[in-house]
Amino acid sequence: MTEFLLTPFTEFAFMRRALAGCLALALGATPVGVFLLLRRMSLMGDAMSHAILPGAALGYLAFGLSLGAMTVGGIVAGLVVVLAAGLVTRASILKEDASLAAFYLLSLAAGVMIVSLRGRNLDLLHVLFGSVLALDDASLLLIASIASVTVVCLAILFRPLVMECFDPAFLRGVSRWSPVAHYGFLMLVVINLVSGFHALGTLMAVGIMILPSAAARLWAKGLPLLLLLAVLFAFGSGVAGLLLSFHADVPAGPAIVLMCGVVYFVSLLAAPGGLLAGRLPVRHHLES
Amino acid sequence: MDLALPPMIRLDNLTLGYDRHPAVHHLSGEIPAGALVAVVGPNGAGKSTLLKGIAGELRPIGGRIVMPALPAGGVAYMPQRGEIDHSFPVSVFEVVAMGLWHEIGAFGGLSRAQRQRVREALSAVGLSGFESRPIGSLSGGQLQRARFARLILQDAPLILLDEPFAAIDSRTVDDLVALILGWHAEGRTILTVVHDLEQVRRHFPTALLLSREPVAFGPTAQVLTPELLARARRLSEAFDEHAPECHIENVAVLPLPAAPAHDHGHGEGHGHAPAHAAHDHRHSS
């Protein structure tokens, strides 16, 4: 059993790197995912992950498979879409989802167009599906740095962000933090999606943000426990996914996200907020 | 007779509205510090809009709101339909403690004394023992009590309440009115949108009757008369999509409850003449 669980990590350096990458993603991207979930922006994370594609593709087009160029490109494209959508939301009658949908669709179309300009698309599979089993030093450093920045920023933004989620009108009334919390949070979403696409690819990066958060929400009533559980679920799924990928010889990115899915479905069945809890025989009610 | 204190709010030919259509039209007047004002009028009369404007959430499309004596962050505004997300995992204690923002800001921790004040605010609204309950588990009345507890901690000199008693049972209303009267006794300035005229007559010394146009402002008994109320109902009508531009420059000045008795608001009406609400005495506060 220990051989099954430990040997892949003790024997192979690439598995250890992948494990470190998963830990960083769980610590950075998953808490951001918790707030995406609580702000009812889960699908917005998905939209954003498409929005960063043209930036990454442009970086790839100009500099080849360069970590720096694709990262900078992705972050710039993501921020442009976020800021443009935010500006339209605040200054026009369109709601956030509509303006974001408009900009991310344009961004995605531009991305596909850019990709098609270059015939050799094979390397771009790396962008779309990630390469958690082939993280080099630079990528690992990038993912770890983004995770660290995220943790620090979340600590600074925590109170305004909670209030912005819970009662934005009140926060606007008592302080000027509302736009700081809003845009600061969106920037965290962007950099974490970019960090996620190096490991899991643009299409899978949202998985490790949202699925563990949704599973944890089914269990936890308070925010601290919710964040803790989500991080644990994400890291656990990462480890399980890597092992599955190693032993069954399947791609690691989808394996990790599918493991997140297993946690989600188990929670859906077993957790107090899940499907079964409301359908079990009614226990004797309390006095008050 | 002259007040030593500057007025808390001076409305200077104020017009507030949406898409150039006025919802509050050429409103002028002064609300003295320490006043407890019920803002009354039919639906669509601009009551919520006025509060939004004073709270700074809505930019005037004409005129000005001047609040010379108000320190920064001195307004506590409770909108009618808050944007509160009831499913968010926070406890009642945490929600009420948000009222201490002006003391602790984004990073400060709660001291022992501040925790005690949060508990006292909760007990003042009758929510002792609810500290660790999730906010989503509260009933409508309990949630309103929690919002009032948060207002207590905000400790603001100017309090704006938009229909705080909507869909609240009578016992809760009584408790909340008692809180408002307590704030009034402490010398805070309070504007409250209320629909129940009986309540206004019983508890509020001053009333502002709006119907897009200002109708009357003064001691409640002289504002809530059948004639003025009927006038308010007549005035309140739907927007005309093709209304011509309004070119009224000069405005009717609403008489003040505390103003000296030489001004009868005459000679300035341009179809906006205010009712001659009496203004010869000031209620005790």
Using one digit for the tens of pLDDT, what is the confidence trace for A56-114? 878 877 877 677 888 888 899 888 888 888 888 777 788 877 888 888 888 888 877 77
Kindly report the nearest CA distance between residue B91 and chain A, in angstroms: 8
| A210–B contact, CB cutoff 8 A | no
Alpha-carbon gap, residue B30 to B5, rounded angstroms: 12
Q: What is the per-residue pLDDT across A144-185, written as a single tens digit (0 to 9) for each?
A: 999 999 999 999 999 999 999 999 888 988 888 988 998 899
Residue B73 in this model has a pLDDT that exceeds 80: no
Q: What is the mean pLDDT of residues A4-21?
A: 89
* Closest-CA residue of chain A to B57: A173
Alpha-carbon gap, residue A44 to A24, rounded angstroms: 22
| B97–A contact, CB cutoff 8 A | no
Q: Average model confidence (pLDDT) for chain A?
A: 86
Helices (H), chain A: 2-11, 13-38, 42-51, 53-63, 67-91, 96-117, 124-129, 137-166, 168-174, 177-199, 205-219, 223-248, 252-270
Residue A177: list chain B partners with CB under 8 A: 106
Residue B28 in this model has a pLDDT that exceeds 50: yes
| Among A163, A165, A223, beta carbon nearest to B98 | A163
Residue closest to B78 by CA, chosen among B131, B139, B146: B146
Distances (CA, A) of A155 to A25, A181, A217, B95, B107: 17, 12, 20, 19, 9
In this structure, the number of other CB atoms found within 10 A of the CB of residue A252 comes to 28
Q: What is the mean pLDDT of residues B65-82?
A: 84
Residue A25 near residue A234, CB atoms below 8 Å: yes
Mutual orientation of helices A177-199 and A205-219 as an angle, nearest 10°? Answer: 120
Give the number of A-B residue pairs with CB atoms closer than 8 Å.
59
Contacts 24+ apart (CB under 8 A), B17-20: B17/B49, B17/B61, B18/B49, B20/B61
The secondary structure element, H or E, covering residue B94 is helix B92-97
Supply φ then ψ for residue A233, to 5 degrees: -60, -45
What is the model's pLDDT at position A121? 59
β pairing state of B158-161 and B189-193? parallel
Reported as a pLDDT band with limits 50, 70 and 90, residue A30 is: very high
Kindly report the nearest CA distance between residue B67 and chain A, in angstroms: 16
Query: Among the ranges A34-38, B25-29, B139-143, which has the highest mean pLDDT value?
Result: A34-38
CA-based Rg of chain B, rounded to a whole angstrom? 20
The b/e string for B177-211 (b: 16+ C-beta within 10 A; e otherwise) is bebbeebbeeebbbbbbbeeeebbeebbbbbbbbb
The secondary structure element, H or E, covering residue B112 is helix B112-124
Which residue's entry shows tokens 């974490």? Answer: A192
The b/e string for A131-164 (b: 16+ C-beta within 10 A; e otherwise) is bbbebeeebbebbbebbebbeebbeebbbbbbbb
Residues of chain A with pLDDT > 90: what percent?
40
Q: What is the mean pLDDT of residues A257-276?
A: 90
CA-based Rg of chain A, rounded to a whole angstrom? 20
Say if pTM beats, i.e. exceeds, 0.90: no
Residue A271 in this model has a pLDDT that exceeds 90: no
Joined tokens for residue A243: 């092992």
Reported as a pLDDT band with limits 50, 70 and 90, residue B270 is: very low
| Among A170, A172, A226, beta carbon nearest to B89 | A226
| A177–B contact, CB cutoff 8 A | yes
β pairing state of B9-18 and B21-31? antiparallel
- Asked if the Cβ–Cβ distance from B88 to A175 is below 8 Å, we say no
Interface confidence: ipTM more than 0.95: no
Residues of chain B with pLDDT > 70: what percent?
82
Residue B274 in this model has a pLDDT that exceeds 70: no
Residue B273 in this model has a pLDDT that exceeds 70: no
The residues pairing with A7 across neighbouring beta strands, listed in sequence order, are none
Which residue's entry shows tokens 């990790």? Answer: A256
Q: What is the mean pLDDT of residues B197-207?
A: 92
Joined tokens for residue A227: 């964040």
State the virtual CA torsion across A212, A216, A218, A220 in degrees, nearest 10. -170
- Which residues, 6 or more positions from A154, have their beta carbon under 8 angstroms from its beta carbon? A31, A32, A161, A188
Joined tokens for residue B113: 């004394």
State the virtual CA torsion across A114, A115, A120, A122 in degrees, nearest 10. 160
Residues of chain A with pLDDT > 70: what percent?
95
Q: What is the mean pLDDT of residues B216-222?
A: 90
Residue B192 in this model has a pLDDT that exceeds 80: yes
Residue B181 in this model has a pLDDT that exceeds 60: yes
Residue A198 in this model has a pLDDT that exceeds 50: yes
Which residue's entry shows tokens 């339909």? Answer: B81
Residue B105: list chain A partners with CB under 8 A: 175
**Straight-line distance from the first to the last Cα atom of chain B, in angstroms, rounded to the nearest whole number:** 16
What is the model's pLDDT at position A71? 87
β pairing state of B36-40 and B21-31? unpaired
Helices (H), A64-136: 67-91, 96-117, 124-129
| B57–A contact, CB cutoff 8 A | yes
| Among A165, A167, A175, beta carbon nearest to B82 | A167
- Asked if the Cβ–Cβ distance from B106 to A162 is below 8 Å, we say no
What is the model's pLDDT at position B285? 37
Mapping DSSP onto H, E and C, the string for B258-278 reads CCCCCCCCCCCCCCCCCCCCC
| A172–B contact, CB cutoff 8 A | yes
User: Of the ranges B14-23, B153-162, B263-272, which one carries the lowest mean pLDDT score?
Assistant: B263-272
The one-character DSSP state at A221 is S
- Which residues, 6 or more positions from B101, have their beta carbon under 8 angstroms from its beta carbon? A163, A174, A175, B154
The residues pairing with B207 across neighbouring beta strands, listed in sequence order, are B38, B218
Kindly report the nearest CA distance between residue A182 and chain B, in angstroms: 14
What is the model's pLDDT at position B252? 54
Alpha-carbon gap, residue A19 to A140, rounded angstroms: 10
| B161–A contact, CB cutoff 8 A | no
Q: What is the per-residue pLDDT across A214-227, written as a single tens digit (0 to 9) for each?
A: 999 999 988 999 99
Distances (CA, A) of A49 to A97, A101, A195, A197: 15, 12, 11, 8
| B85–A contact, CB cutoff 8 A | yes
Q: What is the mean pLDDT of residues A7-35?
A: 92
What is the model's pLDDT at position A120? 60
